[in-house]
Amino acid sequence: MYKRILIIDDNVDFVEAMYDHVAPLVDITDTAYNVEEAIALIKENPFTLILLDINLNNRNGAEIVKFIHENETPNKETPVIILSGIISSTFVDHYQKRFAGILIKPFPPSELKEKIKEVFDKLPAEETPKETQVHDHHDDHPELHYAGPFEMDKLKEEVKGVLEHVKKNSKLKSLLKQVQVDRSADQYMKAHIGMLINISAAICAKMQWNSEKTIEKFVYASYLHDWALAMRPDLARINTFAKLDLLKDTLTEEDYQIVLDHPNIAAKQISDINEIPPDVDMMIKQHHEFGNETGFPSKCGYQKITPFSAVFIVAHTLTDYIIDNPKWTIEDFIKTNKSRLHGSHFTKIMRVLPELK
Ligand SMILES: [Fe+2]
Ligand SMILES: [Fe+2]
């Protein structure tokens, strides 16, 4: 059965840690960091389960429970698990029956997974909601195989070295100095990957996602996302569906299909490799999607874009913007891109961009 979960908590590190445990159990994991974001998501999307923190930036998670109770949303019957450090045993005794579970922070991840499993086991069997199903293009081209530009052992070493370097420095300006912004066509891939790593790491630092595990995901995603186009930098530069559409008549059918499917092809290739951390495949799969449904290949909107993917998409878009515009400024970037880098996780990322300078 298709499952979608919403994590609501104002602590970014906590959400990030929970995300790692929850994402493998469901099809889509959404996150909200405050009451407004949570309500916006609850109004629009049917969730299988909601994980709710009580203390939300001086507001109360109970507001969200009340909202669900009193309004017509697709979540009237959605079970809620409360996660909080400020719950008394009286509260637990009193409200036990109202919620699918109450976990007192800090709790071990195993306890959370156990609770989630319990809730899922009780769900009535029902049909997959079609409108929220993410279409997988994976199997449309099972016969396509591409040799990657890196051997896995070399890549592991490379990632380790890059991580050390990035950890020491998170200011975008100094990071950019370390990557030559070489705008010549044959250097595109190298400049693109190097800059993407640095910009992703700089955004992560501003979002206070400082764990090495997180940065590592971005380094892997940067190296591998255009894997299927490694030998075709000319095609890798086609970074929006609008551009691809415009060039359609000048491309062979095969080139057109490779561009359209390269995110899925790369995601599928790496899904069999144990060394790659979780989430990287989703970041790769979504690296050309946009919040306003104009990306490719799935044209999914911001509701389906994960927090890690959103950072990667912003970093990816900014990287190409810098490569394409020698006179780039963050302000111009925000102005030109705010309509497609919008919604849910994008809002917060776009807000920290001006601080990157
Ligand atoms: Fe790409
Ligand atoms: Fe790319």
Structure tokens at 196: 């993407």
pLDDT tens digits, residue range 120-171?
Answer: 988 876 544 444 434 444 434 333 333 444 566 677 887 888 887 776 655 5
What SS3 class is residue 339?
coil
Q: Give the model's confidence band at 178: pLDDT under 50 very low, under 70 low, under 90 confident, else very high.
A: very low
The third-level CATH classification (topology) of the domain covering 4-132 is: Rossmann fold (3.40.50)
What SS3 class is residue 71?
coil
Structure tokens at 165: 């370097």
Whole-model pTM over 0.75: no
pLDDT tens digits, residue range 308-344?
Answer: 999 999 999 999 999 888 888 999 999 999 999 998 8
The CATH architecture to which 138-356 belongs is Orthogonal Bundle (1.10)
Q: Report residues near ion ligand 1: CB below 5 Å.
A: 226
Structure tokens at 88: 């008394």
Question: How many residues are there in the chain?
Answer: 357
Residues 250 and 281: their CA atoms lie apart, in Å, by 30
Note the pLDDT of residue 55. Answer: 84
Residues 163 and 216: their CA atoms lie apart, in Å, by 7
Asked if domains 4-132 and 138-356 share a fold, the reply is no
CA of 6 to the centre of ligand 2 (A): 29
CA of 21 to the centre of ligand 1 (A): 27
Contact 137, 263 (CB under 8 A): no
CA of 236 to the centre of ligand 1 (A): 6
CA of 357 to the centre of ligand 1 (A): 26
Ligand nearest to the backbone CA of 265: 1
| Closest-CA residue to 28 (of 129, 133, 114) | 133
Residues 215 and 28: their CA atoms lie apart, in Å, by 22
CA of 239 to the centre of ligand 1 (A): 6
| Closest-CA residue to 287 (of 313, 258, 262) | 313
**Predicted confidence (pLDDT) at residue 78 exceeds the cutoff of 90:** yes
Give the DSSP per-residue string, 26-58: SSEEEEESSHHHHHHHHHH---SEEEEESEETT
CA of 317 to the centre of ligand 2 (A): 9
CA 278 to the chain's CA centroid: 11
Dihedral of CA atoms 191, 196, 197, 202 in degrees, nearest 10, equals 130
Q: Kindly list the domain boundaries of the chain, sorted by start residue.
A: 4-132, 138-356
CA of 345 to the centre of ligand 1 (A): 20
Buried b / exposed e along 232-261 (16+ C-beta atoms within 10 A): bbebbbbbbbeebeeeeeebeeebbebbbb
